[in-house]
Structure 1
């Protein structure tokens, strides 16, 4: 079982990091929860702080009564479960294919269209131009708001009701007043023009230091961003594990496998580690007959 943490860092960037891989005796929901709690507990993390959980949709994971997501919801009612969108799309496609005999024609044509567009930069540019015209028409007719952050604020206004435990009565009052003030403030601020996602809005608040003035908005944005939408990162971890744990390394212990996967997957961090510091760390662990080089 692979564990991936999704969080927002202090600079407003949404991060997904490989945390641990755990061997489980069985795949029952109770066993999986116990192992996850043990891993989080060793690192000082608490179940009550979970605000989102995502799995592949297996019955032992998504069960409404005894599934893993239901067990966590009993301890943390705001640890909302999101069925992986990729798996949901696959289920929808399978259901559509069963009900529509000509569904294969759609996918065959779709493949041809994709190949046709990607083969020519000119066709790709024409497609982008057509999409830009369509979006402009939607803005003109009022279907979409302009890119001044209003779409994101509307999303936050709908999301505030899902986190009653994170905002008391006074904080909810501050949040609503800040949302109203932000609508007026961002119209005259060029830094907040043409923001397309909530993640980008979070980074912009930190960059402009407005997160200090819109603390409640910043808090709500971070809560929303922690909701997992896909388990694709976890699937890639299992693919990486197949590269590391080959037939020649079949006896690799769990702890060593986890450490190896961290070094392999989180390359941007391991690239910053100085080799000399590693040697000094091993040298200081115990007395050695020879100096390490």
Structure 2
């Protein structure tokens, strides 16, 4: 986990900081004498979440970030935001994708407080695939606005949770499985929020490949690697099928998903660890849950009770 903060009313310093924190850019203001910028960043593996508070009007022209850049506006407006083929403005409540990773963009921040979340585009390929599995064409977003207000709100909630309950908890964020789980969860939420090139329905070839042998290979790989930060794409590769075929095989034969099964396997490991723990030692349920990729204590406890008919703490105390 890494963090940084910035607080300055010097426009040149702000431009230098933004160029180092994001990508080379030029900024300007009609009121440089009152140009205070406050920025805080938390980062976890391939994800960074920034909170920015600019109490002045600032123009910006940014070179390509080479990352997916999401913006959630809290207060104020972002106006005349442009990149190739798009011009738009955003206000409080809007959640948008600023620009494709390989394109420059420009616009104006008008006395705004907003969130910037950036993630590695390769994360999308870990949870989905395009229509041509034999090609190396990556999954990409094809629109900057969410499908619906409900989708935007789900993404906002996912970003807020990662920021408040993963990035701010060192004991949780330092766990490799938490990094992997949180990153895949956020990537899947991004894909469910914006138009994109991922093909989710299985092709005829995928349906043919979704046979019991592929499923057995996938299950064996999950069992052997549950303690490692594996992805859906990793599981599919080991099963020698596409991500879509893998998901279809799990739905068809187990009425489940690869990640749901991985979560159950990790839950069983957490259960055994809680059973074996010394109740008088300093082991906590949160630590055990995080070690096995569960970064939401409430959801961990709920899933645990559903499977084992008792709370994790009861198991920790009484075996």
Select the structure that is richer in strand: 2
Structure with max Cα Rg: 1
Q: Which has the higher contact order (CA 8 A, sep 6+)?
A: 1
Q: Could you say which structure has the higher helix fraction? A: 1
TM-score higher than 0.5 here? no
- TM-score, structure 2 as length reference: 0.25
Q: TM-score, normalized by length of structure 1? A: 0.26
